[in-house]
Amino acid sequence: MKKLILNLFVVICSLLLISSCTSVIQVSVPKGATLIVVDAFINNKPEAQTVRLTTTADYFSNAPTPALLGATVTLNDLTNNITYTFTPDGNGNYIYTPVINDSMATINHKYQLNVAYNGNNYFALSTLNKTTTVDTIAFRSTGTDAQGNYPNDTTTPRRFFPIFKAEDIKGEADYYWVKVYNNGVFYNAPAQMDVFQDGGYAGTDGFTIGLQFAFYGLTSSDNAIHKYDVCTVEILSINKDTYGYLTQLQSQLTNAQSGLFAVTPQNVKTNIQQTAGAQKAIGWFNMGASTSKSQIAK
């Protein structure tokens, strides 16, 4: 009995000691330099093309990312020696709307993005590579196997998960970003960023995208599509550097969920360059060719 009382006394004293040593530490993060951020993924679709310009903000800031106003944005087709001027909307977006038969985005052409701001000049280069086409979109319903058997789903309404099939173009290495939309809304969660080299990675030239799977799953269980929703799959061509950038970006954005497999935090790479004396800019520029296909879930 005395031993039990002694053990309880030791435990209580230990808890009191631990609690008495607990204090709140305020972490002070020095304010870094304000950098220009460029988001410029331009494609060949006959719709408004947008270059988004913002600036970096304080680490603990909960305010929206500050828009960069007063810049001049142009795109040079270095192959045809044509310049396209983007118009600001007053909210950090710089927009160019192609006209009918506009040749702004042409496969195999080389392009230079130019941003002029506050007396400084920034630029980036990209070649518009070819893409492939979506062959098939199908759906797997919850409660069924890959062949659609055993329809025992009791959820209301029934949930569907899109899968697609596409073939890599055989020849030189190709890089793709597969994007999924539900009723026109882009699934932009970092974990759902699907990028491929050829059929999946080096050595899969000419393979079905998704490697050995003839049909590649596109959404997680948290992002099901419901009956009669319209699912759109877009395949956007990217270049090798953009593939590396998106792969690194995804790794950093999902790092917190990686647990024991988390990687060391890194500064994400950029292809935005600046002239001598200009403040550094970050972000990415890519010219891409886009193809897409839509299918109603049912």
Q: What is the pLDDT of residue 145?
A: 47
C-beta of residue 133 within 8 angstroms of C-beta of residue 166: yes
Q: What is the C-alpha to C-alpha distance for residues 36 and 54, in angstroms, rounded to an integer?
A: 6
User: CA dihedral defined by 52, 54, 56, 61, rounded to 10 degrees?
Assistant: -100
Exposed (0-12), middle (13-18) or buried (19+): which is 28, by Cβ within 10 Å?
exposed
Residues 6+ apart with CB under 8 A from 242: 126, 175, 177, 284, 286
Q: What is the pLDDT of residue 78?
A: 97
Residues 6+ apart with CB under 8 A from 54: 36, 37, 39, 65, 66, 67, 68, 92
Q: What is the pLDDT of residue 4?
A: 46
- Please, what is the Cα angle at 206 between 204 and 208, to 5 degrees? 80
Q: What is the pLDDT of residue 60?
A: 75
Q: What is the pLDDT of residue 150?
A: 42
Q: What is the pLDDT of residue 157?
A: 61
Helices marked H in 193-270: 240-253
Q: What is the pLDDT of residue 172?
A: 87
At which residue do the structure tokens 């550094």 appear?
280
Intervals of the chain under pLDDT 50: 2-4, 6, 144-146, 148-151, 211-214
Q: What is the pLDDT of residue 215?
A: 57
Q: What is the pLDDT of residue 294?
A: 96
* Residues in a beta bridge with 110: 127
Q: What is the pLDDT of residue 209?
A: 81
